[in-house]
């Protein structure tokens, strides 16, 4: 009996998440209320609060579930012994596929999370660390000795957001996800990402990271 109750609760929880994403994509995140989600999910308003403390709690779970799925893809691919450039492409493929289903929701929740968060999202920081671990083995053609994994991560994620937002502005969606993947894959190829056994970038990264930290220190900015 208790097992059936738990299964029913999980089914309701997932239905709320899926219906919320549908409404967010249809009407925009800021134009969807708890009442809207309750009606679409065939639940009472009070039932919503047995699953989520607030809309912000719902936003966070949607984002964190997506980040968890992406982290799992990366870690599983690494564990299987795939080359790191292939691992990164697997991750980008899943990211674009998911974004193409709910492009407005992805972007709105991302921007909302940045603008309203009192502190960095721990799940996002975990995601960033996993990606940066791969990117430290990149060998960009022009580094000047001061580009590290975090810089490359920022550039890659910035390109992703730029391409997706451009499609949203032009087409109100992502009409050709495969074309977006090709653009991001080109950057991965340019980065020439190796593996821990095939590059000494890991050692170099420590030096580069120290320089980057020095550049961004308060003392360094004052001197500039």
User: What values do phi and psi take at 216, rounded to 5?
Assistant: -100, 5
**The pTM is what?**
0.77
Q: Which class would CATH give 56-218?
A: mainly alpha
Note whether 142 and 125 are within 8 A (CB): no
Q: Which class would CATH give 1-52?
A: mainly alpha
Asked if the domains 1-52 and 56-218 are classified in one and the same CATH topology, the answer is: no
Note down pLDDT in tens along the chain; length 224 residues. Answer: 555 788 899 999 999 999 999 999 999 998 999 999 999 999 999 999 999 999 999 998 998 899 899 999 999 988 888 889 999 999 999 999 999 999 988 888 877 766 666 677 788 889 889 998 888 888 765 545 567 788 888 888 899 989 998 998 898 889 999 999 999 999 888 888 877 765 444 444 444 444 444 444 445 444 44
Each domain of the chain, given as residue ranges in start order, spans 1-52, 56-218
Q: What's the CA dihedral at 40, 45, 46, 49 to 10 degrees?
A: 70
Q: What's the CA dihedral at 121, 126, 127, 128 to 10 degrees?
A: 90
Note whether 139 and 194 are within 8 A (CB): yes
Q: What's the CA dihedral at 202, 122, 71, 179 to 10 degrees?
A: -90
* Alpha-carbon gap, residue 110 to 122, rounded angstroms: 14
């Amino acid at each position: 009996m208790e097992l059936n109750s738990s299964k029913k609760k999980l089914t309701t929880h997932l239905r709320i998440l899926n219906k919320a994403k549908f409404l967010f994509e249809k009407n925009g995140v800021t134009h969807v209320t708890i009442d809207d989600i309750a009606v679409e999910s065939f639940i009472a308003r009070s039932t919503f609060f047995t699953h989520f403390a607030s809309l912000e709690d719902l936003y966070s779970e949607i984002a964190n579930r997506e980040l968890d799925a992406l982290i799992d893809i990366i870690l599983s691919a690494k564990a299987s012994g795939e080359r790191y450039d292939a691992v990164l492409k697997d991750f980008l493929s899943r990211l674009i596929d998911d974004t193409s289903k709910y492009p407005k929701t992805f972007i709105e929740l991302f921007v909302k999370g940045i603008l309203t968060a009192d502190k960095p999202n721990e799940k996002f920081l975990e995601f960033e660390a996993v990606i940066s671990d791969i990117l430290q083995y990149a060998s960009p053609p022009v580094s000047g000795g001061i580009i590290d994994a975090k810089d490359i991560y920022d550039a890659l994620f910035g390109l992703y957001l730029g391409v997706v937002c451009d499609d949203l502005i032009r087409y109100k969606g992502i009409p050709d996800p495969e074309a977006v993947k090709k653009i991001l894959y080109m950057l991965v190829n340019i980065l020439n990402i190796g593996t821990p056994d095939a590059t000494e970038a890991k050692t170099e990264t420590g030096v580069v990271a120290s320089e980057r930290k020095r550049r961004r220190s308060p003392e360094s900015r004052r001197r500039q």
